[in-house]
Amino acid sequence: MNKKINVLVSNIGLPSKGIGSWTYEIDYFLRSNSVIDIVLSPSQSPSSRFIFCQKRAWTRLALVNKNYFLTHQVAKDYIAKLLEIGKKGLPLNILVVDDQVLLAAISSAKHQLPKGSKLIFYYHGHSLSLSSQTQEKTDEILFLTKLGYEESIRINERFTPEVKIVGNGIDSKLFYPLSKEEKQFKRKQKGLGKQDILVTWMANSRVVKGLHLFQKMIPSILELSPNIKILIIGNKQPIQESERIVQTGSLPLDQVAEYLQLSDFYFFTSLWKEGFGLSLGEAIKCGNYVLASKNGGIPEVLGNYPKARLIDHPNLISEWIDTFSEVLRDFENNLETNYGDFDFENFHSLKAWESRLIHVFES
């Protein structure tokens, strides 16, 4: 019998049927091992392991007694189920994924759980601000980067939980560089010529992802070489397409990987403090030369990847164009094709991430 019951808490239904930044790796974790005993989420496929719980809406009554309303209304499903699980008499390891409201609610009810229960928060942003009360009831916080942890220390007057850096995991079986011959063959199948240079941008339509700035860059990018073509993935808003500018909309992860493997350059124009930038890691694992905003945890994510340039002032369009112009000259002169002994397979690999998360529950 387990000495503890491991419970994962999510405000997104698991297993997930959507395309999300962290849902793929969490689904992978739940499939590939039995560490998590129970998952509490608004699951579309409830079972004995995946139990349906859903956050309820805030109302004006919350202004009267916020803490009471938080535990007895907003997080009522989750609290009730955790207390029910706790009746088994075993302490709980509770992993709350990325929802500070649920974290605050569960921390308020933690004293009702069996002795020895542990509350862990897996944060997918960059800098984290928590109240002193929530901090004191939270045993561990999992950050994506050490830079995110350091920024959290800076913005909080006090910061008391234990911290672990677990990062993100990217599937090396999906995201990997093609050989030169295979890349050319697959590019030809997509209608790309041997001399074409494919520049990719990928994110959702939120302003902080910087598509509005990238669109302003496009004319200058295209002027640098008649061989350049632009691929935009993820955006659902209409843009002016042409023979040299193509938009795909949202794609399944396997198709995302296929396009990134065909791409030469990847622009990551984030305009906020990124926790990690999962698509940036995916582009790197497929062998792209990346240009990325120097924001949040991005410098740490890039690590020792040799084909990357950080943009110190990401709101300055000229800095993107000047940097790209410089690396493009080297690329066209075949000076930017050597990756040395860079280890693509183990770069932010899903297996290594899984091992780190398992260690969180075993320690």
Contacts of 225 (CB under 8 A, 6+ apart): 197, 328, 332
For the residues 295-317, what does the mean pLDDT come to?
97
Q: What is the pLDDT of residues 171-194, one digit of tens each?
A: 999 999 999 999 999 999 999 999
Confidence of residue 306 (pLDDT cuts 50, 70, 90): very high
* Count of positions (residues) in the chain: 363
Cis omega (within 30 of 0) on the bond before 219?
no
Between 81-85, 97-101, 262-266, 335-339, the lowest mean confidence (pLDDT) is in 335-339
Which residue ranges does the chain devote to CATH 3.40.50.2000? 5-169+349-362, 180-332
Q: What is the pLDDT of residues 215-243, one digit of tens each?
A: 999 999 999 999 999 999 999 888 888 99
pLDDT for residue 330 is more than 90: no
159 to each of 25, 71, 127, 131, 151, how far by Cα in Å?
Answer: 28, 24, 12, 9, 11
> Do residues 265 and 198 touch, judged by C-beta distance below 8 A?
yes
pTM for this model (two decimals): 0.93
Q: Determine the pLDDT at residue 62.
A: 58
Between 16-25, 135-144, 223-232, 324-333, the lowest mean confidence (pLDDT) is in 16-25
- Domain 180-332 sits in CATH at 3.40.50.2000
136 vs 71 pLDDT, higher one? 136
- Domain 5-169+349-362 sits in CATH at 3.40.50.2000
pLDDT for residue 18 is more than 80: no
Q: Which uninterrupted H or E stretch holds 140?
A: strand 140-143
